[in-house]
Chain A
C-alpha cells in the first residue's frame, strides 16, 4: 500500500511537524480550542444543571437539550456561523481563522452531555441520604455542597469526560470551513489528493483522542469520593451512588 509509505514519509519528516502550519502547531491549536470550548460549556452549563438537579426541576429540559443537540450536525452549525455576518471567518488570537465561530459551535456541542450528566448526577443521590442530611439540620446550600455534589461528582466528571473527547473529535470538522486545528492536515491532504498526508493527520488525531480518553478516565477515577480514603466496608455501599448504574450511552461524535 503506497499511501501507508507516503503517510510514514510525511510523519517521519521533521518539516511536517514544525512551522506555523505544521502538525505540532495545529495540535496545540486544537488542544487550546478543545479546552476553551469545554471550559466555556462548563461555565454556562454546570451551575444551571447542578442547581436544577438540586431543586429537582427542569428534568424535561435537561433531557431534551441532549436529544435536540444530537440532531443538529455540528458541520451545519459551523457552516452557518462562518457564512453569517457574525462571527464569520474573522480570526481570534491564537485560535486562528474562524476561531470564534468554531468556539461557539464546539461549546454548544459540549453542552448536552455536561447538562444531562450533571442533572442526572444530582437526581441520583439516594433519597434517604438526602433525607438524613435534612434531618441533621443541614440547609439547602449545605446539602448541595456537602452531600449532593460530592456524591454526584463521579457522574458529573463522566459527563465532562464525554464532552472532552467529543469536542476534541468534533474540532477536526472546523477544517471543513477552513478553520483551525488538525483537521487542516486531513482536509488539505484530501483536497490535494495527497492521501498519505491526509491519513497521517487522521492518525495523529485518532491517537490523541485515545490518549485524552485515557487521561479523562484516570481523572474520573480520582473524582470518586467513595474511593478516597477507603472508608470502612459496609459503610461504603450505603453511601456510594454507584455511577455505573447511569452509564451514559455514547452520544454523537462530530
Chain B
C-alpha cells in the first residue's frame, strides 16, 4: 500500500520467495501459531488423560478377572487397527464436527497402550512385596494405592510416554474435522503451497512431542525417587 512497503525486500513468505524457514512468518502470524499450538496441546493432554481414566478401571478389572483379560486386550487392540482417518468419520454421526470427536478417537488409541502398560506394571510387582504389605495390615485399596501403583509406576510411565508422543503426532489428523491443532496449519500449508506455514507447524509438532516427553521423564524421576538410588 505504501511506497515503503514496496521498497522493502519481499518478505520470505511472500508468494515469490516462499522460503521454508522464515522468521517473519513466525513473527507476523504469532497469534495464529500460538492458538494452533494451544489447541494441539489441549487436545493431546485431554485425550491422554481421558484414555488414562478409562484404562485404569479396565486394567484393574482385567487383572481381577483373568477371563476378561483377553477380551479387554482384544477389544482395545481391535480399536487400534482402525485407521485414525477412518475412526474420526465413524465417530462424527455421534459427536459431530467438534473437538470431542478428535478427543474421543485419540483417547481410544491411547487406551490400547495404557491398558497394556498398566497390566504389565501391576503384574511386575513381586508377589512377596504384596504379601508383606498385606502382612503389615494393608487392605486391598491401601495395597493398590500405596504399594502396587508406586512400584508399577516406571512401566506405566513408559507406556504413558509412548501414548503421549504418538497422540501428539496423531492429533494432526484431527484437521479432517477442523480440530487438528497444528495439523490445521499443515493442511492449509499443503493446500495453499505455503512452505513457511507447513514447515513451522511440522517442526512445532515434533518439538511439542519432545517437550511433553521430557516433562513426563521429569515427572517420573520426581515420583519415583527410589529408582535413582538403585542405579547409582
Interface residues of chain A, those whose CB is within 8 Å of chain B, are 1, 3-4, 67, 70-77, 79-80, 82-83, 165, 168-170, 172-173, 175-177, 183, 186-187, 189-190, 195, 198-199, 201-203, 205-206, 209-210, 212-213, 247, 249-254
Contact = CB atoms under 8 A, between A and B. Distances in A.
A72 B169 contact: yes
Given A67-B165, A71-B209, A249 B159 contact: yes
Given A201-B86, A254-B85, A76 B93 contact: no
Interface stretch (B4-12, B30-38, B46-54, B188-196): B188-196
A42 B112 CA distance: 26
A201 B89 contact: yes
Contacts of A251: 162, 166
Nearest to B176: A190
Given A206-B82, A206-B83, A209-B82, A76 B89 contact: no
B113 A249 contact: yes
Contacts of B162: 70, 249, 251
Given A70-B165, A187-B85, A249-B162, 8 more contacts: A73-B202, A82-B190, A83-B198, A173-B85, A199-B93, A203-B86, A250-B77, A250-B116
A165 B77 CA distance: 11
Interface in B174-195: 175-177, 183, 186-187, 189-190, 193, 195
Contacts of A173: 84-85, 173
Interface residues of B, number: 48
A77 B87 CA distance: 21
B43 interface: no
B-side interface mostly: helix
B176 A187 contact: yes
B171 to A, nearest CB: 8
A214 B167 CA distance: 25
A177 B85 CA distance: 13
Nearest to B89: A202
11 contacts: A73-B169, A80-B199, A190-B176, A195-B89, A199-B89, A202-B85, A205-B86, A209-B81, A209-B83, A250-B116, A254-B173
B229 to A, nearest CB: 24
B210 A190 contact: no
Q: Which of A75, A83, A168, A210 has the most CB of B within 10 A?
A: A75
